[in-house]
Amino acid sequence: MTKQQNLFYSNPDLTATTTKIVAVRPHFFGVAIALEHNIVRASGGGEPRDLGTVDGMKILHAEKQDGLTWTAHDADADRFAVGKTVDVVLDAEHREHRRRLHTATHLLIRCAYNHFSEFNVAVADIEDDASSALIVARTDRPVRSEDISLVDRRMRSEVLNGRSVHAAKAKSVEHAESEYGALFRVSNRHAFRGRIRLICINGLDANPCSGLHHPTTDIGPYKVVPEHLPEADPYTFAVRLKPTGAWMYWFGEGVGT
Ligand SMILES: [Zn+2]
């Protein structure tokens, strides 16, 4: 039986490694391979996949199948063989941007969740190029531009607070609810059975998530820009989160977008 160890959860800082191929199969792009000590994360949980190369060959796709993570390459099957040692190099900047955006997304949703009586997330997706994240939710009342700036202000103070962010395990959603109380929130978009992985923002939030995160809420300068969706009604909260080189401020509707 082939054995693969995924290292991206235990060591998300690791973006280059040398490891062995444990499985090879044909793929739409040419060939797919599975690595023994795997650092490549496939897409999931609103987060795009890792970019990079294996043995100098671009990773064109990454997917989970038959209990393994596979990377796909435009190559003949004989380019890669089981047992071959290969160098894996990821786009470290892309991963870093994703991690910051993922922690920022948790933070923004928690701040909005505290601001509104009801906040049901419909979309929380990081773009493939990791340049921004889109958050769309339904609220209990019409959303005004002041609501967005108040949520942004709450979030900004938590970014400056620099709370720690860590992963934890829970036996079930019910266990997580009893352990974390009001800090626990779960989207009704997802159904969970059995053990779950939680991302905990110390003293603020606990939420099931399979992604990779920045280890503190100090995610650096960012801006929150209202997103005007054609299908949105007044109860729709829609914003785009963008990391920026320096702190920028949003002064209201139509400015700074
Ligand atoms: Zn997450």
The predicted structure's pLDDT at residue 257:
40
Please report whether residue 132 resides in a domain: yes
Report strand pairing: 133-139 vs 119-126. antiparallel
Quick check: 212 and 8 in contact, CB under 8 A?
yes
Dist. CA 41 → ligand 1 center (Å) = 13
**Å from CA of 105 to ligand 1 middle:** 7
Distance from the alpha carbon of residue 100 to the mean position of ligand 1, in angstroms: 10
Query: Are residues 81 and 201 both part of a single domain?
Result: no
Expressed in angstroms and rounded, the spacing between residue 212 Cα and the centre of ligand 1 is 6
Residues 30 and 61 grouped into a single domain: yes
Question: Do 127 and 69 fall into the same domain?
Answer: no
Residue 66: the pLDDT is: 92
Co-location of 228 and 106 in the same domain = yes
Ligand 1 mean position, distance from CA 37 (Å): 23
The neighbouring-strand residues paired with 219 are none
Cα(209) to ligand 1 centroid in Å equals 5
Cα(82) to centroid(ligand 1), Å: 33
Question: 200: CA distance to ligand 1 center in Å?
Answer: 9
Cα of 132 from ligand 1 centre, angstroms = 14
The pTM of the whole model exceeds 0.85 = yes
Tokens 């942004």 sit on residue: 152
The rounded Å distance from CA 211 to ligand 1 centre is 5
DSSP 11-47: -TT--EEEEEEEEEEEETTEEEEEESEE-PPPSBTTB
120 shares its domain with 233: yes
Instruction: For residue 71, report the distance from its CA to the centre of ligand 1, in Å.
Output: 22
**CATH code where residue 182 lies:** 3.30.980.10
Do 221 and 101 touch, CB atoms closer than 8 A? no
Which CATH number covers residue 17? 2.40.30.130
Give the residue from 90, 125, 142 where a domain finishes. 90
Identify whether residues 25 and 76 lie together within a single domain. Answer: yes
Query: For 45-65, how does the pLDDT look when each residue is reduced to its tens digit (9 = 90+)?
Result: 899 999 999 999 999 999 999
Q: CA 95 to CA 12: how far, in whole Å? A: 9
Q: Which residues pair with 119 in a beta bridge?
A: 139
Asked whether residue 252 is domain-assigned, the answer is: no
Residues 136, 224, single domain; the answer is yes
What local confidence, expressed as pLDDT, does residue 254 receive? 47
Domain total of the chain? 2
Query: Are residue 128 and residue 225 in the same domain, yes or no?
Result: yes
CA distance 100 to 143: 26
Q: Which residues of the chain have pLDDT under 50?
A: 253-257
> What's the gap in Å between 145 CA and the centre of ligand 1?
26
Residue 213 Cα to ligand 1 middle (Å) = 6
Distance 21 CA to ligand 1 centre (A): 29
Q: What is the CA radius of gyration of the chain?
A: 20
How far, in Å, from the CA of 80 to the mean position of ligand 1?
33
Say whether both 101 and 228 belong to one domain: yes
Q: Which domain holds residue 210?
A: 96-243
- Ligand 1 centre distance from Cα of residue 34 (Å): 25
Residues 85 and 124 reside in one and the same domain:
no
**Do 102 and 80 sit in the same domain of this protein?**
no
If asked whether residues 116 and 153 sit together in one domain, one would say: yes
